Amino acid sequence: MDVLKIAAFSDGDTGGNPAGVLIGDVLPDAAEMQRLAAEVGFPETAFAAPDGGRWRVRYFSPESEVPFCGHATIALGAALVRQFGDGIFPLTLNHASITVEGFRDGANVAAALQSPPTRSKPAPTQLAAEALALFGYAAADLDPAIPPALIHGGADHLVLALNSRKALAAMRYELKAGQAFMRREGLVTILLAYAETPRLFHTRNPFASGGVYEDPATGASTAAFAGYLRDIGWPHGGAIDIVQGEDMGMRSRLHAGIGPETGGSIRVSGTARMMDEA
């Protein structure tokens, strides 16, 4: 099967998060999709097939299926644009219906997704403390303006906002311990964030639940985080920009448009580049 390799949320012609994309007449069975995702070895592979005027989509990491993946959705949008031209494509996920749109932008594709609905709630004190200990952080490393929270925008994440860029750069953890913690708590990723300004954030995304130490760009957690900022009345001015992957040498850029409706969808956009043509 021909799996496209596309880096989503790229920084021009470099960076971005690699995703596999397979578009077929029908979806393979789950075991075959899991096998292919492990063979590709990227943080996520998206599988899509036509379904009554929509596209049925499932996402697999090398070790497990996830309900929603933002960067693989952007990569899928780029693949659909290459095959069918610029447009808006309705997608049916396991638990939500969303859209992705895209248009050619030189050699790359500019794409945007509308996330599933968002929600957030404060993280239990003990859960936050255990997560801090996992990374070797202390409560003094947190930004009190953005308290630890459980956030959702198609998948579940924990956010820890740090009070310095230096602390973010120092992120380290043991993969197996992180995997056990995330799977026990039902977390797809843990989002570590630093606010350089109210509208510009630096983030890192351990993805141990899927067997990946760190994600270079994570659209699902970006959507969930943007929804959380709206929930707490953060002065986002209608949008935030995120730089991710910089500390792992894969600088990526994400933009999240934030509407006024509590729980509403977040528009996450960026560019995608074809890795096979780089």
Per-residue confidence (pLDDT) for residue 113, from 0 to 100: 97
Average pLDDT over residues 218-247: 98
Per-residue confidence (pLDDT) for residue 107, from 0 to 100: 82
Confidence band, pLDDT 50/70/90 cuts, at residue 218: very high
**CATH architecture for the domain at 4-111:** Roll (3.10)
Same fold, 4-111 and 119-272: yes
> In this structure, what are the phi and psi dihedrals at residue 255, rounded to the nearest 5 degrees?
-125, 130
**CATH architecture for the domain at 119-272:** Roll (3.10)
> In this structure, what are the phi and psi dihedrals at residue 173, rounded to the nearest 5 degrees?
-165, 165
Structure tokens at 206: 């351990």
Per-residue confidence (pLDDT) for residue 278, from 0 to 100: 44
- Residue where the block lists tokens 């989002």: 191
Within 8 A by CB and 6+ apart from 142, the residues are 132, 148, 160, 161, 162, 163
**Euclidean distance between CA atoms 226 and 251, whole angstroms:** 20
Structure tokens at 266: 């977040």
> Could you report how far apart the first and last alpha carbons of the chain are, in Å?
21
Structure tokens at 127: 């859960």
CA atoms within 13 A on the CB side of 105: 18
Q: What's the predicted TM-score (pTM) here?
A: 0.94
Q: What percent of the chain has pLDDT over 70?
A: 99
Mean pLDDT of the chain: 96
Q: Taking the C-alpha atoms of 111, 93, 217 and 253 in order, what is their torsion angle to the nearest 10 degrees?
A: 20
Radius of gyration of the chain (CA): 17
List the domain boundaries for the chain.
4-111, 119-272
Average pLDDT over residues 82-89: 96
The candidate with the shortest Cα–Cα distance to 46, out of 16, 25, 70, 13, is 70
Q: Tell me the three state secondary structure of residue 45.
A: strand
Q: How many residues does the chain have?
A: 278
18-64 tens-digit pLDDT: 999 999 999 999 999 999 999 999 999 999 999 999 999 999 999 99
- Residue where the block lists tokens 């959507």: 223
1-13 tens-digit pLDDT: 689 999 999 998 8
**Euclidean distance between CA atoms 238 and 256, whole angstroms:** 9
The amino acid sitting at 14 is T
91-109 tens-digit pLDDT: 999 999 999 999 998 888 9
Residue 277 pLDDT exceeds 90 = no
Residue 266 pLDDT exceeds 70 = yes
